[in-house]
Structure 1
Amino acid sequence: MNRTTQGWIFGFLGMLVFSGSLPATRLAMAGFDPIFLTVARAVLAGAMAAAILLLTRQAWPGRREISSLLIVSLGTVVGFPLLTALALQYITAAHSVIFIGLLPLSTAIFGVLRGGERLRPVFWLFSGLGSALICGYALRNGVNGALAGDLLMLCAIVVCGLGYAEGATLSRKMGGWQVICWALVAALPVMLVLLFLTMPASFASIDAASWWSLAYVAIFSSIVGFLLWYRGLALGGIGAVGQLQLLQPFFGMMLAAVILSENVDQAMVLVTMAVIACVFGAKRFARPVARQG
């Protein structure tokens, strides 16, 4: 099996893990404040990441890697979880996952800016078409979420795309799991302080579903998913494998319908088929443009 195929397999598995993030966050917010939820998941994930790094005796990152790790940390450990949790105060999980369809385009753009990738024009055509289909699906359903929630989700997509691209570029040097573990550890000192500042007076009223959801976003969304995702991006290319997240809104919608009983209409099936075609089209033309000279 070649590197590109492995990259798409790892990327697909990572995408599946991430599909449960927003529904789980919405469920966890039934018991937790969004800021405390963001901090708690970062602390739990950071503690596990620190243990992994210690047990495997990893060398400390060099000075050149630290700035990139901070970008990854701000984008994926702090920015995206916090902004999405805040957005979910105004919009449903099913509505929020529609915006994830814009994440592949954001990742590809930052892959060019930060990772130095050069992709073919046809690739950008399929990527843009897939993103347009996602937006069209949202418009068909009215986009009746609060403006604040939509703007927060757009900001989340920008910072997450930057974090994905930066992490994937750095993982070529450090390895995917090392990147996300060090990014989590970089945020841990600040998050520990914020944990005590934002901790609720009592946990007595928090139900089991909120606790299990917190565990999911801390373990799977913050560590396991990134291990798979960064591995996929590093092997298959940032812009190419990143297109798999065009499928994430639909997996997320299905989970929102099953877990949260949120409404998902039949038009999703047709849009899903069209988006899958865009993913395969992007994959077909994802080979980077050869550099001149």
Structure 2
Amino acid sequence: MSNKDSVIAFDVVTDNGGTRYAGWAMGSLGVLIFSFALPANAWAVRGFHPMAVTVWRALIPGLLAAVLLWRVRAPIPDRRSWPLLVTSGLCVAVGFPLLSSIALTTIHPARAAVILGLLPALTAAFATLFGRERPSPRFWAISGAGLVVLLAYLTTRGGAGGLALGAGDLAMFGATCCSAVAYVLGADRAKVYGAWQSMCWTLVALLPLSIPSGIVTAIVQDPAWTVQSAVGMFYLAVVSTLFGYFAWYAGLARGGIARVGQVQQIQPILTICWSGLFFVETLDPLTFVVGTVVAALVAAGQRVR
């Protein structure tokens, strides 16, 4: 893969200041949408089995994506793109939803947010390992400082953590790794096809798997339909999987995977705020102080070449 058709090369996407700021803005919108995904997932698993959540979270947006691509007569990706699209799809629409749904049956969304706080660092690491991005030592220092502040706060916060690890924690860590890999591959194809077409083709590539799986789950599952479970499923399948990834991949493609990926350090704080609103948690003022510090470090990271 050459730099001509790939966003993975760090210098290709950071020369233009306006492009970088647009990437930061789109990435921030994606993070805002993603920040409610864990609470929505917690609602969904109250009425649906984790496997059903995984299947329908891929099937519903996959069918919508097929309609969108057909309406705009989008060109079919070339043969070398399909392995990347399929791998990205398996990570983002199967690995992350399944493992996070399993995790949320045993751990609280706020605790899951602790583990998801590793995502920006993992994304930057995978971008460096597989994508030939070469962030500067100063960038790594700023990013590491933000990660330390975030995890130090979250792991000592009452009700959100502790150091003992269980099966739910390990499942959430696996989900975080899947998401990081998907971001690197998805951003690469977003440079070639555009953010929304890249995500749509990723979902369409999974339809041969998601359609028969959806039929099977519809037959064997007996979901407990409630307003919360239905809203949770809709948010995951449409708002997060489609619109969230449209914005996120556009941000990564414009601003660089490692740099824009650090915006996601704010996501765990936002998730805890949503948990406080919808799961009757008490939010201490320190949450907002830490959020401000992390946001300042993220902003500093955006300015480092």
* One-letter code aligned to 2:244: G
Task: Give the corresponding residue for 1:61.
Answer: 77
Aligned length: 285
Contact 2:57–2:233 (CA<8 Å) still a contact in 1? yes
Task: Give the corresponding residue for 2:278.
Answer: 259
Measured against aligned partners, the alpha-carbon deviations of 1:31-69 in whole angstroms (never above 9, x if no partner) come to: 111110111111101000111111111121111101110
Structure 2: where are the runs of 5+ without partners? 1-16
Task: Give the corresponding residue for 2:253.
Answer: 234
Task: Give the corresponding residue for 1:27.
Answer: 43
Measured against aligned partners, the alpha-carbon deviations of 1:239-263 in whole angstroms (never above 9, x if no partner) come to: 1111110000111111111122234
**How much identity, in percent, do the aligned residues show?**
37
Task: Give the corresponding residue for 2:212.
Answer: 193
Per the normalisation by structure 2, the TM-score is 0.89
Task: Give the corresponding residue for 1:218.
Answer: 237
Contact 1:112–1:118 (CA<8 Å) still a contact in 2? yes
Task: Give the corresponding residue for 2:5.
Answer: none
Task: Give the corresponding residue for 2:86.
Answer: 70
| Aligned counterparts of 1:81 and 1:259: Cα–Cα separation in 2 | 21
Task: Give the corresponding residue for 2:173.
Answer: 154
Contact 2:183–2:249 (CA<8 Å) still a contact in 1? yes
Per the normalisation by structure 1, the TM-score is 0.92
| Aligned counterparts of 2:117 and 2:204: Cα–Cα separation in 1 | 29
Q: CA RMSD in A?
A: 1.6
Spell out the pairing of 1:1-293 with structure 2 (5 A cutoff): 2-141=18-157, 143-144=161-162, 147-199=166-218, 200-203=220-223, 205-285=224-304, 287=305
Range moving further from structure 2, 128-137 or 10-19: 128-137
| Aligned counterparts of 1:27 and 1:220: Cα–Cα separation in 2 | 15
* One-letter code aligned to 2:128: V
Structure 1: where are the runs of 5+ without partners? 288-293
| Aligned counterparts of 2:280 and 2:213: Cα–Cα separation in 1 | 33
Instruction: Classify the secondary structure of the residue corresponding to 2:80.
Output: helix
Contact 1:232–1:241 (CA<8 Å) still a contact in 2? yes
| Aligned counterparts of 2:18 and 2:286: Cα–Cα separation in 1 | 36
Measured against aligned partners, the alpha-carbon deviations of 1:165-222 in whole angstroms (never above 9, x if no partner) come to: 111112111111111101111112211222232335544x411221111111101111
State the shift of 1:146 in Å.
5.6
